[in-house]
Amino acid sequence: MIIAVDGPTASGKGTISKALAVHFGLPHLDTGLLYRAVGRQTFLNGGEPDNADDALAACAFPDKLLADASLRSEVAGGMASQVSVHPAVRNALFDRQRAFALQDGGAVLDGRDIGTVIAPDADVKLFVTASIEARAQRRFAEMQGRGEDVQLDVIAEDLRQRDERDRSRAEAPLVAAPGALVLDTSALSKSEAIAAAIDAVEQAYG
């Protein structure tokens, strides 16, 4: 069983995907982490994430970079959104994601173009979304919990900018895949969102 989970930043898709992987006994891939690694490697190379050649060169990042805690930072998230607009970068990472999806037994993948590009043949497609306000509040609490000095309005504006980049890019824009089950987590707790997702997958997969 292949489960594709798409959605914008801080919608809860990562938490939901991990829970689905545990519940159904499937391997999980956070594809956004690959783009964060490219963004981080671009910085380490002294390049610019908005430069297609610099970003493409960074696709050769070492596997150990995926374990770097800095990839979870807001800065890395912003750079991931920037490098992901380049078609050459998306093409370079396609085979890696596709191979993960097609492994024996299936898998759970989350990102922004799983159901539309990486695994359009997925058995179940979810599109997890939430309002800007709800997402900003979650990210604000998460960052405060890490001791970071942040402002709610700055986070909300950053999310708006990322959404605009992700939805307007020419290559694989962020959209709900045809036939995807849309799950709005704005008013749901973590446990409620996970339960709703599990129920949706079980009903869709039969």
Q: Are 94 and 84 in contact (CB under 8 A)?
A: no
CA distance 54 to 48: 6
What is the pTM for the complete model shown? 0.87
Domain count of the chain?
1
How sure is the predictor about 26, in pLDDT bands with cuts at 50, 70 and 90? very high
Read off the CATH number of the domain in which 124 is found.
Answer: 3.40.50.300
- Structural domain including 167 reads 2-205
* Helices 74-83 and 31-44: angle between axes, nearest 10 degrees: 90
pLDDT the model gives residue 72: 86
pLDDT in tens, 94-135: 999 999 999 999 999 999 999 999 999 999 999 999 999 999
pLDDT in tens, 132-177: 999 999 999 988 988 888 899 999 999 999 999 889 988 888 999 9
CA 174 remoteness from chain centre: 10
Please name the residue that has the structure tokens 């002294």.
46
Of 2, 3, 15, nearest to 185 by C-alpha is: 15
